[in-house]
Amino acid sequence: MKIALIGYGKMGKAIEKTAIERGHEIVLKIKRENLQDFNKENLSNADVAIEFTSPESALNNVVKSMEWGVPVVCGSTGWNNKLHIAKEKCLEVGSAFLQASNFSVGVNIFFEINKQLASIMNDWQEYDVKMEEVHHTEKKDSPSGTAITIAEQILENLKRKKHWIEGQPKSDDEISITAFREPNVPGTHVVKYVSAIDDIEIKHTAHSRDGFALGAVLAAEFVQHRKGIFTMSDVLMK
């Protein structure tokens, strides 16, 4: 498979390493210094694009890639309010698009446990729920896209909660997310149910970017010959 990397920071370099180890070829690397190379002619050499940039540039990168005939795997977070535009474009041009807040296989297993636990706790009113997340100081969005995904999963399954909020909740129907930024932390997410009697906690701690990189490459392998809108659940359950 020939891969275009749109975004060649720490994640892009980790993805490159994993992709090559799995026998793939990197045919294009787009970073700040060569933005002019992001064009239809260069992208036409790729079977799939993997996009990890910023909330400001993600939509343009994704839409252009699909318009130019290349399916896209996107890991940029912080642009959820524009995701519908990318999905509409995917259907319009008959491409493939997979966006995830987190590509780690472990995190996606955590997602499934989180949904199941929230559903169980729906019957136990005495437990309140709160969340914490820790990431490196270079992370642009807060709370993380992964934390927002986790919170939205809880909201879908825990009926007494209606909203999430960063910081202290202002009402009983809100889920509190506390975000910390510390040097050299790939990502930690904690969901804790608290009662007067005991606490129940689930936690995922990433030790490196390797798990995210592997998931992104697996997603690229999945969408290469497909059309439509997909999630990491599709990749893991194939």
Which positions are annotated as active-site residues?
Answer: 135, 139
What would the two tokens of residue 21 be? Answer: 């180890």
DSSP 8-class letter at 194 = E
The reply to whether 75 sits in an annotated binding site is yes
| Residue found under tokens 């980790």 | 14
100 carries a ligand binding annotation = yes
**Quick one: tokens of 168?**
């202290």
Residue 32 is assigned to a ligand binding site: yes
Q: Are 10 and 186 in contact (CB under 8 A)?
A: no
The response to whether 102 counts as a known ligand-binding position is yes
Tracing tokens 């050499």 back to the chain, one arrives at 45
Q: Is 136 annotated as a binding residue?
A: yes
> Measured between alpha carbons, how far is residue 40 from residues 12, 51, 66, 95, 213 in Å?
20, 15, 10, 15, 25
Whether the Cβ atoms of residue 194 and residue 127 lie closer than 8 Å to each other: yes
Binding residues for NADP(+): 32
Binding residues: 32, 75-77, 100-103, 136, 145-146
Binding residues for NAD(+): 75-77, 100-103
Binding residues for (S)-2,3,4,5-tetrahydrodipicolinate: 136, 145-146
